[in-house]
Amino acid sequence: MDFPKRYDVIVVGGGHAGTEACLAAARMGCKTLLLTHSIETVGVMSCNPAIGGIGKSHLVKEIDAFDGAMARATDKGGIQFRTLNSRKGPAVRATRAQADRALYKAAIRDIVENQPNLEFFQQACDDLIVEGDTVKGVVTQAGIRIYADSVVLTTGTFLGGVIHIGLDNYQGGRAGDPPSNALSQRLRELPFNVGRLKTGTPARIDARSVDFSVMQRQPGDDVTPVMSFMGSQADHPEQIDCFITHTNERTHEIIRGGLDRSPMYSGVIEGVGPRYCPSIEDKVMRFADKTSHQIFVEPEGLSTHELYPNGISTSLPFDVQVALIHSMKGFENAHITRPGYAIEYDYFNPQDLKHSLETKFMNGLFFAGQINGTTGYEEAGAQGLLAGTNAALRSMEKDAWYPRRDEAYLGVLVDDLITMGTNEPYRMFTSRAEYRLILREDNADLRLTEKGRELGLVGEERWAAFCEKREAIEREAQRLKSTWIQAGSAESKELETLVKTPLTREYSLMDLLKRPEIEYKDLAHLKGEAVADPQVAEQVQIAAKYEGYIARQLEEIEQMRRYENTKLPKELDYTKVGGLSNEIVQKLSTLQPETLGTASRIQGVTPAALSQLLIYLKKHHSVQKQSA
Amino acid sequence: MELGQLNTDTIAAIATAPGRGGVGIVRVSGPKAKTIANDMLGFVPKARYAHYCPFKDENQQTLDEGLALYFEGPNSFTGEDVLELQGHGGPVVLDFILKRVCELGARTARPGEFSERAFLNDKMDLTQAEAIADLIDSASEQAARCAVRSLQGAFSKRVHELVESLIQLRIYVEAAIDFPEEEIDFLSDGKVEADLRSVMANLASVMQEANQGTLLREGMNVVIAGRPNAGKSSLLNALSGRDTAIVTHIAGTTRDVLREHIHIDGMPLHIIDTAGLRDTPDEVESIGIERAWNEIEQADRVLLMVDGTETTSTEPHDIWPEFVDRLPHPERITVIRNKADLTGEPSGFMQGQTSTVISISAKDGVGVQTLREHLKTVMGFDAASEGGFIARRRHIDALNQAKTFLDNGLDQLLGASAGELLAEDLRMAQNALNEITGEFTSDDLLGKIFGSFCIGK
């Protein structure tokens, strides 16, 4: 039976990737359908109740720069905000928020429900409608056929999901939800390279059974940071504290005693878990000399007593979970509300994707989130935004778009996945970004909002606010450049309390701001008036402090950009390019990089090989010209 | 876009064939050619005119005198601005000029890169393109071999230790940045500064060694080894033309390692003759033997001498199994069958199974010229476009760049406590050293971090 309507874009899945994907397509004006097995779970946080952190808040603010939902929902649902790395320089600073699960989900639901062009339909997706090598729509559990120009799959951990608690296991997409087995089966018939990954989550604890008086209190920042460029502290609900406790020798003994019933250590689980988010049994085994690990005790919300003990994710049997939790300070009488578990699921080798997140094998089919081997709400949301955007562009018969590595963490994420693939759940870190000094969370809007506007993603309100901010930054920078302080003047005397040596000549305020010991607030008021908007002041200050480094990175980027702009034709036969080793021919033929820049980042591709490609392209080009 | 515009950097290379010639040319191509001319000559030569003038270093001292030619793009060989400095030749002087050009913003060209640019800028026609592709192919293969060769022995070990210590430091700095909640905030304690200073001291000593010339000026280490009385000292004398070793017929006369610096067509060679290696109760002699073994293990090339009257074998392992088994790099052996005057063997190259074999008479000097040519080839100073000399130049450039970044990084750490800027300088320093030791990606770094610290919020 056919669905009564057809759509421009169908998004399958209502998690963090799915919501950003369907919102993006709808903002761009496409008739969009969100197909989910449960409308109630749209925007649910399946694992830890937190958004942001190092590398991750960068992605959240990039989504926000495109007018996405995640940052705004975080401001509405955040019950504790902190700036990490606050003393380490702006490029590596990151905002992290504990989120009230219910408030966060409600905020996402509110945004999704009020988005024009977007409709939902509750049914599991079982199959794809395929004609030749092009996807034409989806088939639901009840056999309903829905047609669309583009389909975005954001299946999370649901594809072939298996949940493990001790040696017991059962099929599930998340605790309490069924897996998507029919779709998994169907996708395995297509020529994708499928693998298995593993992730885990800790047991949850009832706060009424916990003694917080023996734990270390961890409050939020005094001046609460805000996640969205459009947000304010007024959006935030009541703010509360987190706590820290520790594992001890006794805990570790209990864990070692239960390993024979661990699915990880008895070989039941074949999927690979992340090295940076190991289960507690992994931590104890791999770092045997550490006698204690810190555990962050995070509230799940204002209206619930449930706690999330961050750092003891585990798939040990339930009796071992109880014993190990009771061995910790403050948890002696803890009541467990839900057991911890590990989940194994299918993912598809992201090397089979284009940078637009469209699959190479099937036109019109896009993948985003954990299906591509990533982990994290933020990584999923960012990919969802990109996949939704490109699904919409395809429906409008426009060229695909994606950010480069020097433009966004989203660009780094996608390029890493496509050029290197991944064999563990991929998480963002700032050390993955070679242009880290440019890709800051504070300037995500300056980097991306204009592009977002051009793509049709950014609404009127944000665009107006953005333009005003950008002009204010430019105005203030000009003022500092053209305001001079004379040696020996009263203003100079005021500054000399900060600098070691007296000023010997005339300096502009901008020159002075470049000195490490002087900040914007020290000098902006000396002549004229400092700007009121802290975001503007921050941008002016950072540009001054990083000037030399940014100039060097821009030069590096300029070099690279030329390679990025040189397209490698899809029909290029690498065996015909002389002088390439067999290994390189094979890699290039398999991965089919879209540009010379992507080719240059494939492991083993040498500068000499790039030269050969360039010469071949040039020859080819001339031949075409001659015959034309 | 035009493919020719892909190149925005400036490249430089020694354009004349390696060896001691009458003229040596350093060629520079790219947007900085003009400013480099201005800095080294004090003026920009008129395009397409020859100027006779001194080439100056950073202290305005004359490195060499010769002809400077300037071609303004697109009217040049490569289609870019080109500067040519024609000096008196000689590898050491040419190397100084190339080094200066690189300090002024050029980088050493990859094999075939000038031709590649010429082609991409429509300065060569299509029929020539095939030849360029072949040139890049063969030359880069050879360059890779030379790079490996220039990295043998003690220097290589030092560079790898240096890179390893830099990686260790980066693990701490990056972990502190990416995992601030993991109780590993090293930027605030003194460890990072102490480690950075130790990496810098390490680099300084590697650079000092490199610049002192064990690497560049003195060329490579060649060891002459063999059983007592095989004729090692005679060969040393024949190669160097001087009577430095006492030559007698009594086994054990040469008691110490003897060093000799010789030049073959201007190419520096560092030859070590070892004491006859044998078990001995004589204390002085056994000290000499131990030192000899150290030299042998670090050598770039081992000339294994055998008395041709004692065996007809050309196989190192047949000639002296216990010696060959002890060598870390048996592939570096050349077998020298001495005393061709007595055996009547024809002098010169002989057929060998696993090693090059040369028959000579050290006493008469017969076959010694063949050996000289062989050593030149082994050093990478043959007629091909790129030799070990340039490969080593690249390494020294890389060390220099790394030093600049580490100096900056220390300033940032001390002056501004800016961990993220220190991290950036360390990244750039590592990028520079990647030229020597191969790629080290951010993924490799993360792997090391996860192996070193228990990360897991």
Q: Which of A169-183, A378-392, A417-431, B34-48 has the highest mean pLDDT?
A: A378-392
Average pLDDT, integer, range A53-68: 97
* Minimal CA separation from A138 to chain B, in Å: 37
B8 contacts chain A (CB < 8 A): yes
pLDDT score at A271: 78
Encode pLDDT of A261-313 as tens digits: 999 888 888 778 788 888 999 889 888 888 999 999 999 999 999 999 999 99
Tokens of B440: 């080290």
Pairwise CB contact (< 8 Å): A606 & B140: yes
The C-alpha of A538 sits at a distance from chain B's nearest C-alpha, in angstroms, of 17
Residue A621: per-residue pLDDT: 66
Show the tokens assigned to B67: 């002809």
User: Exposed/middle/buried for A113, CB within 10 Å: 0-12, 13-18, 19+?
Assistant: exposed
CA distances from B361 to A481, B339, B368 (A): 79, 5, 8
How far apart are the C-alpha atoms of B67 and B45, rounded to whole Å?
A: 10
Q: Is the confidence at residue A628, as pLDDT, over 50?
A: no
Nearest to A618 among B3, B450, B456 (CB): B3
Which residue from A283, A559, A606 is facing B8, i.e. has the nearest CB? A559
Q: Check residue A69 and report its DSSP letter.
A: S
Selected residues 182-201 of chain B with any CB under 8 Å from a CB in chain A: 183, 187-188
Subunit contact B136:A611, Cβ cutoff 8 A: yes
How close A406 gets to chain B, by Cα (Å)?
A: 15
Question: Tell me, what's the ipTM?
Answer: 0.85
A296 touches chain B (CB under 8 A): yes
Q: What are phi and psi of A46, to 5 degrees?
A: -75, -25
Mutate which of B3, B135, B435 to test chain A, going by most A C-beta atoms within 10 A?
Answer: B3
Task: Say yes or no to pLDDT of A433 above 50.
Answer: yes
Q: Judge contact between B237 and B262, C-beta under 8 A.
A: no
Q: Which chain A residues contact residue B1 at CB under 8 A?
A: 562, 565-566
Question: Digits of tens for pLDDT over chain B (457 positions)?
Answer: 455 555 678 999 888 765 556 678 899 999 999 999 999 999 999 999 999 999 998 888 888 888 999 999 889 988 999 999 998 766 667 878 888 898 898 988 877 788 888 888 887 766 666 666 666 666 555 555 555 555 555 566 778 888 889 999 998 899 888 888 766 666 667 888 999 999 999 898 887 766 544 334 445 678 888 877 788 778 877 776 654 444 444 444 444 555 666 666 555 666 776 655 666 666 666 676 777 777 778 777 888 888 888 888 888 888 888 888 888 888 888 999 998 888 888 888 887 777 889 999 888 888 888 888 887 777 654 433 334 445 566 777 788 889 999 999 998 888 777 788 999 999 999 988 887 777 777 777 777 777 777 766 5
Q: Residue B334 — φ and ψ, nearest 5°?
A: -115, 125
Between strands B258-264 and B267-273, the pairing is: antiparallel
Q: Which residues of B touch A292 (CB under 8 A)?
A: none
So what's the pLDDT on residue A627? 36
Q: What is the predicted pLDDT for the residue at B276? A: 56
CA distance B137 to chain A (A): 5
Task: Kindly report whether the global pTM for this prediction surpasses the value 0.90.
Answer: no
Q: Count residue pairs from A and B with Cβ separation < 8 A.
A: 142
Predicted pLDDT at B265: 57
Least confident of A128-142, A471-485, B121-135, B401-415: B121-135
Q: Which of A427, A392, A397, A432 is nearest to A412 (CA)?
A: A432
Q: Which residues of B touch A420 (CB under 8 A)?
A: 443
Which residue of chain B has the CA closest to A547? B421
- pLDDT at site B246: 41
Whether A578 sits inside 8 A of B113 (CB atoms) is no
Residue A555 has a pLDDT of 83
CB contact under 8 A, B177 and A549: no
* Confidence at residue B62, expressed as pLDDT on a 0 to 100 scale: 86
At residue A287, the pLDDT reads 85
B residues 423-442 closer than 8 Å to A (CB)? 423-424, 427, 439, 441-442
The mean of the pLDDT values for chain A is 92
Q: Do A558 and B8 touch (CB under 8 A)?
A: yes
Residues 370-429 of B with CB under 8 A from A: 415-421, 423-424, 427
B115 vs B123: CA distance, rounded Å:
9
Provide the percentage of residues in chain A whose pLDDT is more than 70: 99
pLDDT digits (tens, 9 = 90+) for B192-213: 899 999 999 989 888 776 654 4
